[in-house]
Amino acid sequence: MNTVKCPTCRQPAAFGSPDFPFCSDRCRQIDLGNWATEKYVFSTPVIPTGGEEGAPLPPDAGEED
């Protein structure tokens, strides 16, 4: 069986497990709590650049003269 290390406790976590990539529901809940209490944050805002899917259009795009 293929496994990876659980990101919370570093114990083996099996592919196909309902809690994957965590080894258990407890580790999954700990990780969720860390996001909820802002222990984990994104270091910089994600700002899409032009041309990417989902990128905002320029202010004048789509306007017809």
Q: Tens digit of pLDDT for each residue in 7-23?
A: 999 999 999 999 999 99
pLDDT attached to residue 28: 96
Residue 26: other Cβ atoms inside 10 A: 12
Q: What is the pLDDT of residue 64?
A: 59
Reported confidence tier of residue 33, pLDDT bands at 50, 70, 90: very high
* CB neighbour class for 19 (10 Å; exposed up to 12, middle 13-18, buried from 19): middle
Average pLDDT over residues 45-59: 64
Is the whole model's pTM more than 0.85, yes or no? no
Three-state secondary structure of the chain = CCEEECCCCCCEEECCCCCCCCCCHHHHHHHHHHHHCCCCCCCCCCCCCCCCCCCCCCCCCCCCC
